[in-house]
Amino acid sequence: MSAFNAIGDEREIDRDEFTPGVEPQPTWCPGCGDFGVLKALKQALPEAGKTPEEVLTVTGIGCSGKLNSYLDTYGFHTIHGRSLPVARAAKLANPELEVIAAGGDGDGYGIGGNHWIHTARENHDMTYIVFNNEIFGLTKGQTSPTSPKGHKSKTQPSGSAKTPLRPLSMSLNAGASYVARTAAVNPNQAKEIIKEAIEHDGFAHIDFLTQCPTWNKDARQYVPYVDVQESDDYDFDVHDRKEGAEMMRETEDVLNEGTVLTGRYFVDDDRPSYQQEKKAVGEMPEEPLAERYFDDDAEWERSYDLLERHT
Amino acid sequence: MSDDELIWRIAGGSGDGIDSTSQNFAKALMRSGLNVFTHRHYPSRIRGGHTYVEIRAAENEVQSRGDGYNFLLALGDSFARNPQEEAYYGNEEIKPLSENLDELRDGGIIVYDEGLVDEDEVADLDLEKRAEENDWHVFPVDLRGLAKEHGREVMRNTAGVGVTAALLDMDLEHIEDLMADAMGGDVLEANLDILHEAYETTSEEYDFEHDLRAPVGDHDTEQALLSGSNAIAYGAIDAGCRFIAGYPMTPWTDVFTILSQNFPDMGGVSEQVEDEIAAAALAVGASHAGVKAMSGSSGGGFALMSEPLGLAEMTETPLVLVESMRAGPSTGMPTKPEQADLEFVLYTSQGDSQRVVFAPGNIEEAYEQTRLAFEIAWDYQIPAIIIYDQKLSGENANVDVEFFDREPKPDLGATLTEEELKEAAHDNSGKFQRFQHEGENGVSPRSLPGQKGGRFLATGNEHSPVGHIEEDPDNRVNQMDRRLEKLEAIRTELDDEYESTQTYFGDDDADYGIVTWGSSQGAVEEAVARLNEQGHSVKGLSVSDMLPFPKTEVTEFLESVDEAMVVEMNATAQFRGHIQRELGRFGEKLTSLLKYNGNPFEPAEVVEGYEVNIADEEREPTAQVRIEPAAGD
């Protein structure tokens, strides 16, 4: 008998299973885009055939970090910026878990920027959703790495002198094999993209635009949005790195001008995930490492076997 | 101190093969039946720069590097020389002969490579006169020429070993065997030729007027030569650790490397990651998902780990971290030992954070306490830290092979199976009460992601029994009290169920005490023996449990002596402060002997510290040590 019977459990899954029974109601403000992520996940997970107990959601700090308080899966609410290293190790320890990391733009693109680059570079098999509202919300409205240039806040009262970060282009250049942008205001697309990301073998980065009605009143509410896959104005091949990069660039340029383009920008189905690469070079076991501790027949090598070289 | 000991120092340039040569020679001495102990001194650079390794070998037990040495093999520094033009390059000229004479004992032997050590250097040294004064026996041999003749210049180390064997009247058998293990074909042939020629030429050309001969020993059982880093890595393997994440930093890199090299064969996973915050966070993630995991670093890298350390504590995720100290602050002296990160390791991380800290004092303890750290961490769901230093990390000594002959212990501790989860407490919505207040010994058993019926949230925020963020005052107090209860319970268990991890030496009823911790143990143990031989009444205590502190044991020891000296490698008497803080007394009884020049204690320095400090001799210590008087003085 497996030690992790929730994994691979095939049954009809009601999305309400992902809603905590007697848990606290979300503390997000009315109109917050974060509700959109929660809703999209609750829809996408059952459609992807995932049960709550085989999913591990790992979050950082901020409004976004509370996601797994309101989404009833196994969860790990970590510290500011550190969701990715925790998440990717959990996936290495038990590759059969469905690991979803989430954080905010301050959390993931600021303090956790280093981890983001390296997780993308290594192409860890996981989904990474960044709640991008261009502001620090929970600390009450400071400028974030994606805030537009000139953005005024309590910490940059004269307007930010910094050019905003380009998350899509960054992720592509770092090595992510799936890069998309969606928005809370576009629930159907959000659900589909999350489902694709879950099913994708490799690092799937979703820049999820979540409006902040409280601290970012000046921010565009991401409407109207354009779905680049649906629109006749845009024609590019998401499997082509160069065309994807062009499209990302344009998307990131026009966002600063108030035009919201969403959709898939780059999908590389051929690149093996880090887990596959690591197995291929013999640095990771075929069977989930975590299972071994419950296997009574497992042969545990011991240091005594290594002593010969020291005698 | 036994007169019948060899302390052989091989000196040269970093990158000249000093380390591998000395490893092999130490092993040959061990195989001949002797107890061996090695001490490595090296600069923070890859090639060039003065480096030496000492091997102490005796029939009796050897616990430290000893005092000084009695055989110098000075190879010269090939990297200070441009091989084509015979000219020096770089801005540093290293003199392995002249820089190593200060600690050479009377009657000692000097062999230097005439082919590489400059004539001018020898002339400047006034070597003949000094040799006469100190009864040194000097043997200039063209090791480089000899090596070139039969093979390649780098093989001059082999020539040096051959000369050593001849001068000490050693059998070449073990050295030949080790060479055959390490190499083959033409390379082996060339090295054997060089070894034999060096041996025979020396035997024929020189009259041996020196008294030093290789000591004779005989082990009853098979021995293994390993380092403290080997012992920590092997302790982790036997504890069931199969996940390590790290970022390279001297001296922690040794443990990281050993496990990275062994894990692929045993189904383990090693990850070299972007920084130390990530490294410790990965270990937390792997542990959360159900694998025994560790990470570690040295002081500067460990600084970055204080965040994930606190996260592991708050989420009650089992975790083992190792902290290999080097001299600080900041990047300090990368290749030099110090015991100055103690307070940092005890207190780093915000809040009323709790962790278990072990400080092994020798290679056997490093193995035992690593096993113990894993056991405690997983049984109590608390971070356990092994703090040691560059000295213990790099020193090699022989250990009875049988010592390691025990079963692996991959037990995940307070972790439930799915069967057990069915019986466990759940809340109204069916969620597992992972952090229930009624934990035994402060521990509430956990589930793992992917298990049926064990769903919960782990969070670094204060949380309710099912893991949700919760700031209710009653819940806060309950959760905090439960977490704090763990250390008390661990102390009780360590006292009741384990043999003391503290090490005692000397007579129980001695009047004076010397207290130490970590890798200074060996030098203190030898010093205590010597002081007693000289007629003093001294006993020693080496403390390994830093947290939870063995209050009863240390109190009993300190109550039983008139006065005590705390010996440690730092400038601010950190361990002495820790004792006084934990026990709330003994300020008037404790003096300190401190050393922080980058070199570990030698036993004679501890003896001298005692003489000046406790025996009240009216003099300043001659060694580079500092005495910190008791609070009452």
pLDDT of residue A201: 97
Domain of A104, CATH number, reads 3.40.50.970
Domain boundaries B503-628, corresponding CATH code: 3.40.50.920
**A12 exposed, middle or buried (CB, 10 Å; 0-12, 13-18, 19+)?**
exposed
Percentage of chain B modeled with pLDDT above 90: 83
Q: Residue by residue, what is the 3-state secondary structure of B538-563?
A: EEEEEECEEECCCHHHHHHHHHCCCE
Cα A161 versus chain centre, distance: 28
Residues B25 and B161: beta-carbon distance below 8 Å = yes
A303 within a domain of the structure (yes/no): no
A152 within a domain of the structure (yes/no): yes
Residues A125 and A91: beta-carbon distance below 8 Å = yes
Q: Work out the minimum CA distance from A53 to partner chain B, whole angstroms.
A: 5
A contacts of B404 (beta carbons < 8 Å): 303-304, 307
A1 within a domain of the structure (yes/no): no
Lowest average pLDDT, out of B64-68, B282-286, B552-556, goes to B64-68
Alpha helices, H only, B251-298: 253-262, 276-288
Which A residues in the span 94-123 are in contact with B, Cβ-Cβ below 8 Å?
94, 96-97, 114-115, 117-118
The mean pLDDT of A155-176, rounded to a whole number, is: 97
A139 within a domain of the structure (yes/no): yes
Mean pLDDT of chain B: 93
Query: Which two structure tokens, joined as six digits, stand for B244?
Result: 């390590």
Q: Work out the minimum CA distance from B469 to partner chain A, whole angstroms.
A: 8
Indicate if the pLDDT at residue A215 is higher than 60: yes
The mean pLDDT of B355-377, rounded to a whole number, is: 98
A239 within a domain of the structure (yes/no): yes
Domain boundaries B5-205, corresponding CATH code: 3.40.920.10
State pLDDT tens for residues A97-140. 999 999 999 999 999 999 999 999 999 999 999 999 999 999 99
A contacts of B290 (beta carbons < 8 Å): 3, 93-94, 290, 293
Q: Do A90 and B288 touch (CB under 8 A)?
A: yes
A contacts of B458 (beta carbons < 8 Å): 75-77
Query: Which two structure tokens, joined as six digits, stand for B493?
Result: 């268990």
The mean pLDDT of A158-186, rounded to a whole number, is: 97
A154 within a domain of the structure (yes/no): yes
Shortest CA distance from B416: residue in chain A: A3
A188 within a domain of the structure (yes/no): yes
The mean pLDDT of B484-490, rounded to a whole number, is: 96
Distances (CA, A) of B197 to A144, B31, B143, B149, B181: 73, 23, 10, 11, 21
Indicate if the pLDDT at residue B266 is higher than 60: yes
Rounded Cα–Cα distance for residues A198 and A99 (Å): 9
The mean pLDDT of A82-88, rounded to a whole number, is: 98
Q: What's domain B225-404's superfamily in CATH?
A: Thiamin diphosphate (ThDP)-binding fold, Pyr/PP domains (3.40.50.970)
The mean pLDDT of B376-394, rounded to a whole number, is: 97
pLDDT of residue B2: 41
In chain A, the number of structural domains is: 1
Indicate if the pLDDT at residue B89 is higher than 50: no
> Nearest-5° angle of CA A188, CA A26, CA A262?
25
Indicate if the pLDDT at residue B119 is higher than 90: no
- Give the HSE-up count for residue B528: Cα atoms under 13 Å, Cβ half-sphere: 29
CB pairs under 8 A between A and B: 233
Cα B459 versus chain centre, distance: 35
Percentage of chain A modeled with pLDDT above 90: 90
Residues B515 and B541: beta-carbon distance below 8 Å = yes
Residues B576 and B631: beta-carbon distance below 8 Å = no
Alpha helices, H only, B206-275: 228-238, 253-262
pLDDT tier at A56 (50, 70, 90 boundaries)? very high
B contacts of A20 (beta carbons < 8 Å): 429, 431, 468
Query: Which two structure tokens, joined as six digits, stand for B75?
Result: 């190879």
Fold equal for B225-404 and B503-628: yes
pTM for the complete prediction? 0.96
A20 within a domain of the structure (yes/no): no
Residues B296 and B252: beta-carbon distance below 8 Å = yes
Domain assignments of chain B as residue spans, ordered by start: 5-205, 225-404, 418-497, 503-628
Residues B515 and B543: beta-carbon distance below 8 Å = yes
Characterize A88-111 residue by residue with b for buried, 16 or more Cβ atoms within 10 angstroms of its Cβ, and e for exposed.
bbbbbbbbbbbbbbbbbbbbbbbb
> What range does the domain containing A117 cover?
31-284
Which of B32, B468, B470, B471 to mutate against chain A (most A CBs within 10 Å)? B468
Distances (CA, A) of A294 to A38, A98, A300, B451: 34, 20, 12, 12
pLDDT tier at B490 (50, 70, 90 boundaries)? very high
